[in-house]
Amino acid sequence: MQDLMDRHWHHLPEAEVADLCDADPERGLDRLEVEERQRRFGPNALTPRKGRGPLLRFLDQFNQALVYVLLAAIAVKLALGGYVDAGVIFGVVLLNAIIGFVQESKAASALDALSRALTTEATVVRAGERRRVDARELVPGDLVLLASGDKVPADLRLLRVRNLKVDESALTGESVPVEKRAGVLGHDTPLADRANMAYSSTFVTFGTAAGLVTATGDHTEVGRISELIAQAVPLETPLTRQIAQFSRLLLYGILALATLTFGIGLLHGESWVDMFMAAVALAVAMIPEGLPAVLTVTLAIGVARMARRHAIVRRLPAVETLGSTTVICSDKTGTLTRNEMTVQRLWAGGEEFALSGVGYSPRGELTDNGKPVKVAARRALLELIRAGLLCNDAALRETDGVWSIEGDPTEAALLTAAAKTEFDAAAEHHAAPRLDTLPFESEHQYMATLHGGTCPMVYLKGAVEALLPRCDGALAADGTWVPLDPGAVRAQVDTLAARGLRVLAFARLDGAGRSAIDHPDLAGGLTCLGLQGMIDPPREEAVQAVAACRRAGIDVKMITGDHALTAAAIAEQIGLGEPAADGTRPPALTGRALAELHDDDLIEAAARTAVFARVTPEQKLRLVEAIQARGAVVAMTGDGVNDAPALRQADIGVAMGRAGTEVAKEASDMVLTDDNFASIEAAVEEGRGVFDNLTKFITWILPTNAGQGLVILVAVLFAQPLPVLPVQALWINMTTAVLLGLTLAFEPREPGIMDRPPRPPGSPILDAVLLQRILLVGLMLLAGAFGLFEWALHHDASVEQARTVAVNVFAVGQAFYLLNCRSLRWSMFRIGVLSNPWIWAGIAAMAAVQLAFTYVPVMNQLFHTEPISAAYWLAILGVGLVIYTVMGLEKLVRPRGARGPTSPAAEPSATAARTGTTST
User: Which of 632, 641, 629, 686 has its CA nearest to residue 665?
Assistant: 641
Residue 895: partners with Cβ closer than 8 Å, 6 or more residues away = none
**Catalytic residue flag (residue 331):** yes
Work out whether strand 589-590 and strand 611-613 pair parallel, antiparallel, or are unpaired.
parallel
Q: How far is residue 693's CA from residue 295's CA, in Å, rounded to a whole number?
A: 10
Distances (CA, A) of 114 to 150, 151, 230, 317, 335: 18, 14, 12, 25, 21
SS3 for 483?
strand
Q: How far is residue 251's CA from residue 267's CA, in Å, rounded to a whole number?
A: 24
Catalytic residue among 24, 150, 331, 755: 331
Say how many C-beta atoms besides its own lie within 10 A of residue 382's C-beta: 20
DSSP label at residue 278: H
Are 165 and 553 in contact, with CB atoms under 8 Å apart? no
User: Which of 235, 238, 234 has its CA nearest to residue 758?
Assistant: 238
Query: Can you give 37-91 as a three-state secondary structure string?
Result: HHHHHCCCCCCCCCCCCHHHHHHHHHCCHHHHHHHHHHHHHHHCCCHHHHHHHHH
Say how many C-beta atoms besides its own lie within 10 A of residue 310's C-beta: 17
User: Which of 523, 510, 528 has its CA nearest to residue 473?
Assistant: 528
Query: Can you give 790-836 as a three-state secondary structure string?
Result: HHHHHCCCCHHHHHHHHHHHHHHHHHHHHHHCCCCCCCHHHHCCCCC
Are 902 and 824 in contact, with CB atoms under 8 Å apart? no
Radius of gyration, CA atoms only, the chain: 35
Are 150 and 123 in contact, with CB atoms under 8 Å apart? yes
DSSP label at residue 754: T
DSSP label at residue 349: T
Residue 396, beta-bridge partner list: 405
CA angle (439 as vertex; 437, 440 as ends), nearest 5: 145
Distances (CA, A) of 177 to 163, 188, 207, 244, 539: 12, 22, 11, 48, 20
Are 638 and 331 in contact, with CB atoms under 8 Å apart? yes
Q: How far is residue 431's CA from residue 456's CA, in Å, rounded to a whole number?
A: 10
DSSP label at residue 337: B
DSSP string, 709-721: HHHHHHHHHTT--
DSSP string, 415-456: HHHHHHTT--HHHHHHHS-EEEEEEEETTTTEEEEEE-SSS-
Residues identified as active-site: 331
